[in-house]
Structure 1
Amino acid sequence: MSGLLIYAVICITLALVFYTIGVFSERKSGKLKKWHAAVFWAGFVFDTSGTTLMSKIAGEGFNFDLHGITGLVALLLMAFHAVWATVILIRGSEESKKTFHKFSIAVWAIWLIPYVIGMFIGMK
């Protein structure tokens, strides 16, 4: 296994860890907090880094296949999710802070699709 691949796998795995911690701790606390948004951003950064490294390894651009499309959707949703969490915290709406977890769970579940597909692709 190449060093670049090891870094890519570590980044993608850290994205899963950060995003999972953020989503489920937000849900458990019942209210969006600043550190949740920071963890969402960390998950997004690690996912983007891992995806970039995997693309370099593959030596290809974007692929219009199930993994490519779901991965792009997941990255866009993660970015929107982190931005929206930040906006809610800046605005200070207590109601929005309490209901944000519903959106978080959906984004996390969608993000898992390309993660799992990528694992199967990598096992070939």
Structure 2
Amino acid sequence: MNGLLVSAIVTISLALVFYTIGVWSEHKEKVLKKIHAVYFGLGLIFDTTGTTLMSIIAGKKDISNLTTFYIHRFTGGLAIMLMLVHFLWAIYVLIKGSEKAKENFHRFSVIVWGFWLIPYFVGMFMGMRG
């Protein structure tokens, strides 16, 4: 396993850890706090970094299953965009949002997190298949 692949796996895994901590701690506490936005931001940074590294690796490989590759690429790009919207919305809610908005934010968080898992597991499946 080369260093670039190890770096990509570590950063994607850190994205999962940080994003999961942010989403589920916010969901459990039932109110959005600054620390949750920090975790969302860290998840976004590590996911974007890991995705960039994986794209570099994929560019060097012969992709045998193009359908799975394109599904992964589409859902991964959409997941990063959703994470960005989620992060920016969290900042907005923290600065200008009402208490009700802070209390209802967790519903969107869980949806984005659940969607983010699709490209995470598709990518893992693709990696295991070679």
TM range (shorter): over 0.9
**Paired residue for 1:115?**
120
Kindly provide the CA deviation profile for residues 51-92 of structure 1, in whole angstroms up to 9, marking residues without a partner as x: 0001111226xx871101100110000000000000000114
Secondary structure of residue in 2 paired with 1:65: helix
State TM-score, norm by structure 2: 0.91
| Structure possessing the higher radius of gyration over alpha carbons | 2
Given the alignment, which residue of 85, 94, 104 partners 1:99?
A: 104
Counterpart AA for 2:42: A
Question: Which ranges in structure 2 are unaligned for 5 or more consecutive residues?
Answer: 61-65
> What residue identity is the alignment partner of 1:30?
K
Task: Give the counterpart letter for 2:35 in structure 1.
Answer: W
Partner of 1:44: 44
- Aligned pairs, number: 122
1:20 aligns with 2:20: yes
Identity across matched positions, percent: 57
List structure 1 runs of 4+ shifted beyond 6 angstroms: none
CA distance in 1, matches of 2:59, 2:77: 17
For residues 25-60 of structure 1, what are the alpha-carbon distances to aligned partners after superposition, in whole Å with 9 as ceiling and x for unaligned? 001111000000010000000000000001111226
Give RMSD over aligned pairs: 1.2
1:76-87 matches, within 5 Å, as 76-87=81-92
Cα distance in 2, alignment partners of residues 38 and 92 from structure 1: 17
Amino acid at match of 2:120: Y
In the alignment, structure 1 segments of 5+ residues that lack a partner are: none
